């Protein structure tokens, strides 16, 4: 399969295509960040609740 | 077999099963996304009419498809919550709303970026674009409702009811927007023609679709696990969990 | 006053709702004033051009109508919940759907009457012809049930707390969009001389469907609120 990357970079669509792939990557990374941070928060929360056994 | 299905409704078994499943989703999604996007960006041919901008299709089409199918998933979770009173379905519903919102936003943004070089405008009041915008508002409203109702256990049922009303309303919205559009737009051909797609474009598209689907599955399951732990933190099985 | 033993409970409920509104006119009057003012301020807020005014008239009227009905519907159930009437209703095992339906009916009819009384003024402000004004009236009549049913639904989950109005309107607007679109398209079609019967028929159908489904959904939400004892 030939690589079209050099053609793409010189075409007039380069910015738009690059922009949309960048947006996709950013949004997926943001979802990833949300998931990881909520997992981190719940770990902190559970550790704290383990230290207070009587509630 | 039925016991296996019932186990998915119980918090403890759901947690352990979904950990395995989400790990699988995660691995498949990373591989499929990298493979599909690199293939689509660099190695697939450009379109005869639309030039290189057709590469945006590999993101836009799966995102739009996912935005609708995640809503369908939410509606089925809502049905399970309301009819069978399974709490986990309510948690799945709320996690799916966030992922669906991101997908809809992505579809709208990439649609605009695709539209600018091909049609010359960032935004047109096309039937499909407007319908997608309304879907975005519905997702945002559901998330806002969930946020406002907070940790209340009844919030599951209320969000489920509103989700179902939204589902029943979606075909009506779709058709009325289409009608409105044909009345006011005339016959400008803005619909992207969908001829039979060539194999060299089909396979990266399918790969990207699989990757996005698995990513959505991973995100929804992970968020649901966190919500489940938050709700069940007093239970014995949570206390015995080990965290890395 | 109704004879408690001979008139059926739902008739008495209708009379009761009517009396409540008659004695506490402020929510109705205020929402009406809002409707009139909001519509009247559009010609003031945009550069004066009769052609532009005629073009935007359908949309402006319908958006104002939606907002006016929503603003007065925000407190639909609040009084009844605070006074415990809703709980009594459930204790007597009466169907909550009927309660919601009666409330929607009374409020819808009174709002509709008031808005129809305002419609000649709107016709004057936007220089509508008689046929367009008639279409305006017909579209308001056909669309009001849907509007009031949806507003009743979204106000159900704000019945307990304060400061829920923003969430209510965020959910209301996307769902009520077809009604707004059809209502304003019918008036716009009348302005262009096109037949309006199709729009009005669709609007009536939507109203019927929403009247069938939404009171049931509203009743479930209210029941959940009451069982929780607060939300």
What is the percent of chain B with per-residue pLDDT over 90, rounded to a whole number?
A: 51
Per-residue model confidence (pLDDT) at position B186: 47
Residue-range definition of the domain harbouring residue A34 = 17-55
ipTM > 0.85 (yes/no): yes
Task: Give me the residue label for tokens 């009041």.
Answer: B125
Residue A34 inside a domain? The answer is yes
> pLDDT, tens digit, for every residue of B195-215?
567 777 888 899 999 999 999
Per-residue model confidence (pLDDT) at position A25: 95
Distances (CA, A) of C23 to C9, C12, C26, C132: 21, 16, 9, 35
pTM of the model: 0.90
Mean pLDDT value of segment B119-126: 83
Whether A16 sits inside 8 A of B106 (CB atoms) is no
Residue A11 inside a domain? The answer is no
Instruction: Name B211's Cβ contacts closer than 8 Å, sequence gap at least 6.
Output: B28, B29, B30, B31, B32, B33, B34, B35, B36, B37, B62
Residue A4 inside a domain? The answer is no
Mean pLDDT value of segment B92-97: 95
Residue A1 inside a domain? The answer is no
3-class DSSP assignment, residue B174: helix
Instruction: Name C151's Cβ contacts closer than 8 Å, sequence gap at least 6.
Output: C69, C70, C73, C76, C172
- Average confidence score pLDDT of chain B: 87
DSSP state of C94: -
Residue A2 inside a domain? The answer is no
Question: If chain C, 231 residues long, is cut into consecutive pieces of 10 residues, what is the mean pLDDT of each piece?
Answer: 76 91 89 92 88 92 94 87 87 90 93 93 91 94 95 85 81 94 93 91 94 94 82 58
Asked if B230 has any chain A CB less than 8 Å from its own CB, the reply is yes
The total number of structural domains in chain A stands at 1
Residue A8 inside a domain? The answer is no
Q: In a 10 Å sphere around its CB, with 0-12 CB exposed, 13-18 middle and 19+ buried, how is residue B174 labelled?
A: middle
Q: Which one of A6, A13, A25 would you mutate to disrupt binding with B, by most B Cβ within 10 Å of its Cβ?
A: A13
Residue A10 inside a domain? The answer is no
CA-CA-CA-CA torsion sign (C33, C38, C40, C41): positive
CA-CA-CA-CA torsion sign (B42, B45, B51, B55): negative
Asked if B49 has any chain A CB less than 8 Å from its own CB, the reply is no
Gap between the Cα atoms of B99 and B71, Å rounded: 10
Q: pLDDT category, B224, cuts 50, 70, 90?
A: very high
Q: pLDDT category, B116, cuts 50, 70, 90?
A: confident
Whether C167 sits inside 8 A of B180 (CB atoms) is no
Contact B117, B54 (CB under 8 A): no
Q: Which one of B35, B41, B45 would you mutate to disrupt binding with A, by most A Cβ within 10 Å of its Cβ?
A: B41
The subunits that touch chain B, with at least 3 C-beta pairs less than 8 Å apart, are: A, C
- Among chain A residues, the shortest Cα distance to B111 is held by A20
Per-residue model confidence (pLDDT) at position B196: 63
Mean pLDDT value of segment B204-233: 93
Residue A12 inside a domain? The answer is no
Plot region of B51 (φ>0 → left; ψ -120 to 50 → alpha; else → beta) = left
Q: Answer yes or no: is pLDDT of A49 > 90.
A: no
Among B44-58, B109-123, B184-198, the minimum mean pLDDT is found in: B184-198
Q: pLDDT category, B243, cuts 50, 70, 90?
A: low
Q: pLDDT category, A14, cuts 50, 70, 90?
A: confident
Mean pLDDT value of segment B119-140: 88
Q: pLDDT category, B53, cuts 50, 70, 90?
A: confident
Per-residue model confidence (pLDDT) at position B244: 42
What is the percent of chain B with per-residue pLDDT over 70, rounded to a whole number?
A: 93
Helix axes B127-149, B57-84, angle to 10 degrees: 40
């Amino acid at each position: 399969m030939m690589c079209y990357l050099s053609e793409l970079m010189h075409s007039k669509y380069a910015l738009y295509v690059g922009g949309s792939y960048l947006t996709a990557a950013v949004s997926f990374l943001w979802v990833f960040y949300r998931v990881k941070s909520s997992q981190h928060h719940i770990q902190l929360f559970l550790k704290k609740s383990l230290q207070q056994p009587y509630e | 077999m039925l016991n296996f299905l019932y186990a998915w409704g119980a918090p403890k078994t759901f947690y352990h099963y979904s950990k395995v499943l989400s790990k699988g989703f995660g691995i498949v999604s990373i591989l499929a996304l990298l493979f599909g996007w690199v293939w689509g960006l660099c190695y697939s041919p450009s379109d005869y009419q639309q030039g290189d901008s057709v590469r945006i299709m590999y993101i836009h089409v799966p995102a739009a498809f996912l935005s609708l199918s995640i809503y369908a998933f939410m509606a089925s979770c809502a049905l399970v919550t309301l009819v069978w009173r399974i709490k986990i379905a309510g948690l799945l519903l709320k996690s799916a709303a966030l992922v669906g919102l991101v997908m809809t936003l992505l579809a709208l943004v990439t649609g605009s970026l695709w539209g600018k070089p091909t049609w010359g405008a960032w935004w047109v009041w096309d039937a499909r674009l407007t319908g997608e915008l309304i879907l975005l508002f519905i997702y945002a409203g559901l998330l806002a409702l969930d946020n406002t109702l907070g940790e209340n256990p009844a919030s599951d049922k209320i969000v489920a009811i509103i989700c179902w009303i939204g589902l029943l309303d979606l075909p009506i919205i779709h058709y009325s927007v289409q009608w409105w559009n044909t009345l006011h737009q005339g016959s400008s051909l803005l619909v992207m023609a969908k001829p039979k797609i060539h194999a060299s474009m089909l396979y990266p598209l399918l790969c990207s679709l699989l990757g996005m689907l698995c990513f959505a599955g991973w995100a929804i399951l992970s968020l649901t696990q966190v919500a489940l732990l938050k709700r069940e933190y007093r239970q014995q099985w949570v206390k015995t969990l080990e965290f890395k | 006053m109704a004879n408690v033993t001979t008139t059926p409970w739902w008739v008495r409920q209708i009379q009761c709702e009517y009396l409540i509104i008659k004695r506490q006119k402020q929510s109705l009057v205020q929402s009406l004033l809002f409707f009139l003012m909001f519509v009247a301020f559009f010609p003031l807020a945009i550069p004066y051009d009769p052609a532009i005014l005629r073009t935007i008239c359908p949309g402006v009227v319908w958006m104002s109508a939606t907002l006016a009905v929503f603003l007065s519907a925000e407190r639909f159930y609040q009084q009844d919940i605070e006074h415990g009437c809703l709980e009594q209703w459930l204790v007597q095992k009466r169907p909550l759907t009927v309660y919601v339906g009666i409330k929607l009916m009374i409020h819808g009819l009174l709002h509709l009457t008031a808005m129809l009384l305002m419609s000649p003024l709107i016709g004057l402000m936007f220089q509508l012809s008689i046929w367009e004004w008639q279409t305006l009236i017909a579209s308001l009549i056909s669309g009001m049930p849907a509007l009031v049913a949806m507003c009743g639904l979204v106000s159900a989950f704000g019945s307990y707390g304060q400061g829920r109005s923003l969430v209510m309107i965020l959910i209301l607007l996307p769902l009520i969009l077809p009604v707004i679109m059809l209502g304003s398209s019918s008036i716009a079609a009348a302005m262009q001389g096109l037949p309006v019967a199709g729009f009005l028929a669709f609007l009536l159908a939507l109203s019927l469907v929403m009247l069938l489904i939404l009171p049931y959904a509203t009743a479930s939400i209210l029941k959940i609120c009451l069982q929780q004892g607060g939300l």
